[in-house]
Structure 1
Amino acid sequence: MTDFCIVNNYVKPLLYPSLLSVAQNIHFLVWSPWNASCLFYFPAWDNEANAVPSLLLQLRYIHSGNKISRIKQIQEMACVKVECVVRDKYRIGEAPVWEEKHSSLLYVDITGQKVCRWNAVTKQVKEVHVGTMAMETRPAEVERHQGSVYSLQADHSVVKHFDQVDISNGLDWSPDHTVFYYIDSLSFAIDAFDYDLQSGKISNRRLVYRLEKEEAIPDGQCIDAEGKLWVACYNGGRVLRIDPETGKRIQAVKLPVDKTTSCCFGGKDYSELYVTSAADAMDEEWIRRQPEAGSIFKITGLGVKGIPPYSYAG
């Protein structure tokens, strides 16, 4: 016995009328009567707004708890919206940071060798700075284990913490500043360290989450006010929400581009998640299928807020 039936491309709840509010814009949905969980949900694309009105792509992640709690999660996640806010085709957009004072998003184009500022009020992009760097042969292709992790102290001294790193990414801290989260992208994993706020020392490295094959390469990450991690997946076209306490994936938000690179919270109350992307190493056919590759995206309706960025003490 199932709890839903499909009628003219929308879901008709048989037992829970409250779900009618989340049945709009559904393309189709498959329900599993054996474990009482949705397997797939495909949203309709809003061509006028150029946005996805809801992004509950893989509800098979929701297996725990009773049926009412699962329905609550469906209702909360069905209002997620992805919007392209900057359409410049950056080669490798990265490192987004929200500037509360200026209502702006700072980010870099690594291979484009520039730092940019997008103003959320005026919608204008200005180039802040241009620099140089050594070039990779191809994105995410490097000579293995040549990197290290350092910290820049308040007195401008530099401390080396460990080496044998491929591509350092995704640095952030728990809300209570006792845990440091770190990604070495080619390890396909998120790690945690104990962190001493006074000395800056890290210790007790351990695994938080190992990405599955379809999630591709973990890139940049940030943390929300509830202490959950948001991880951009390069070549995976999504952002994952991970519970570092349980090591479980809570949510996956799909974007219309494969090469999602990093993310940060911003906006007036830090309820908007900004996601950078890349267009490097994409052939003409790939670009044709994903014309917004290299753009900057804003995700709203997540139901969580982020934490303001920390300023360097030096």
Structure 2
Amino acid sequence: MTDEETEPLLDKLDAAQKVRLLTGATTWRTYGEPAVGLRPLTLSDGPAGVRGETWDERETSLVLPSPTALAASWDERLLTDLGALLASEARRKGVDVLLAPTLNLHRSPLGGRHFECFSEDPLLTGRTGAALIRGIQSGSVAATAKHFVGNDAETDRLTVDVRIDERTLHEVYLAPFEEAVAAGVWAVMSAYNKVGGVTMSASPLLDRPLKDGWGFDGLVVSDWGGVRTLLESARSGQDLAMPGPDGPWAAGLLAALEQGLVPAEAVDDKVRRLLRLARRVGALGAEDAGTLGAEDAGALGAEEAGALGSGDPADRPGRP
């Protein structure tokens, strides 16, 4: 199925069906939609191995050396081979979208998640990240370049406002993501933090340079709980709000669309990108394209929320 064949599917969806697709059905899954042959997508951490949907010691996963160690090899062929191995693991666990690689930079010895990152150097980070992306996607599993952008330390990670001059932003912090787009990455994750006073899930950087400047044609997924507003984020280049089934878009996007507060073209573009991602991973046109019902999604969301603790993304273990 090509983009030309995907486009008519939009006409088969009404506004409510389109909006429903843009917030997750559960913590790790999206909604399916039988009307267009779309099955739910399953997403999973992470940069050093494929966890899958559950935290269960009986469900083991292959663990790679940390990305920092892999980058130290400067071996792009090795990274591509390991990416293909991660794709195989993802398929074994029923995962369509792997939330890796992390392309943020080492900026503080107190950065507790720096083991997920490749380097303090944008060139090395971009090259090794691109190699891993090529390997993952060779197995028809989507790689996700994260966290776009400026999410390079743990202090106040959810709320910090990062101030970067324009040249440094483009030549240092955005450079690895530009390399990922050049490598054909299928998904990008927007970060929790602000850059220049704007939360990344509502940032103009999602449109330019990411989509309009670099030509990124994939899906922008939020970090978990990263979509905190309705109108600002819905009007931006943010495409999918995770997790679900609750969130600002689930609560108000349909009404905002019907009232003309969010352009219909913006919603269509988000759905188009979701369908394109689904096609790339083999989730569009599938025979098992059933969707979770509202009661099923609510039950799953409540069960998983109880397992994860509070609704604050900071309290969720293993945050993407």
TM over 0.5: no
Structure with the larger helix share: 2
Give the TM-score, by structure 2 length.
0.29
**Greater gyration radius:** 1
Give the TM-score, by structure 1 length.
0.30
